[in-house]
C-alpha cells in the first residue's frame, strides 16, 4: 500500500511498506516540500526495495553502526592501513549526542591530519610535527 499526502505544515509525505532483513515489513516514510519532491523520493525508495535492498529491522545509533561498518565492511574490503586509519578516526569521535558532535566537528582547514590518506597521518606521526596530536589526544577541534 502506498500513501502520498500533504501535512498541515505544508510538507508532503510519501509512505509504503518494504521488506526487512528478518523477513518482516517496515513502513518507509519520505518527505518533500512539494508533491513532486515527495513522489520522486518515494519512487526512488520503492525502486530500491524492488531491487532487493532490504530495510534494517531497527534504527542504528551512530556509534554501534560505525563499529559494525568498520568490522564488517572496511576490515574485509580495505587494506589494513586504511582500516587502522578509519578505526583511529572513529575512536576519536566524542561519545556524545548529535548536537554535541556537531559542536565538536573538526575544521579540516585548521587541521589537515583528520580523515586524510594514511600516508599523511603516518608522515605526521613519524615527524612528530603538525597536527598529529589531534588524532593521538582526541583533541576536537584543533586549536593549534
C-alpha cell at 83: 582500516
C-alpha cell at 50: 524492488
Q: Taking a C-beta distance cutoff of 8 angstroms, is the pair 53, 36 a contact?
A: no
Residue pLDDT, tens place only, 78-119: 999 999 999 988 888 766 555 555 554 555 444 544 444 444
C-alpha cell at 47: 525502486
Q: Taking a C-beta distance cutoff of 8 angstroms, is the pair 30, 41 a contact?
A: yes
Find out whether the peptide bond into 139 is cis, omega within 30 degrees of 0.
Answer: no
pLDDT score of 62: 82
pLDDT level of residue 128 (50, 70, 90 thresholds): very low
Q: What percent of the chain has pLDDT over 90?
A: 35
Question: Does position 43 have pLDDT exceeding 70, yes or no?
Answer: yes
Q: Does the reported pTM lie above 0.85?
A: no
Amino acid at each position: 500500500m502506498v500513501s502520498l499526502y500533504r501535512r498541515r505544515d505544508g510538507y508532503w509525505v510519501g509512505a509504503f511498506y518494504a521488506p526487512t532483513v528478518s523477513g518482516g515489513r517496515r513502513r518507509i516514510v519520505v518527505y518533500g516540500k512539494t508533491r513532486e519532491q515527495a513522489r520522486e523520493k518515494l519512487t526512488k525508495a520503492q525502486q530500491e526495495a524492488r531491487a532487493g535492498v532490504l530495510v534494517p529491522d531497527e534504527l542504528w545509533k551512530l556509534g554501534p553502526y560505525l563499529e559494525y561498518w568498520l568490522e564488517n565492511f572496511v576490515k574485509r574490503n580495505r587494506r589494513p592501513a586504511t582500516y587502522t586509519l578509519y578505526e583511529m578516526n572513529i575512536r576519536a569521535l566524542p561519545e556524545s549526542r548529535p548536537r554535541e558532535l556537531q559542536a565538536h566537528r573538526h575544521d579540516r582547514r585548521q587541521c589537515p591530519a583528520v580523515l586524510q590518506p594514511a600516508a599523511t597521518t603516518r608522515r605526521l606521526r613519524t615527524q612528530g610535527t603538525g597536527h598529529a596530536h589531534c588524532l593521538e589526544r582526541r583533541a576536537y577541534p584543533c586549536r593549534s
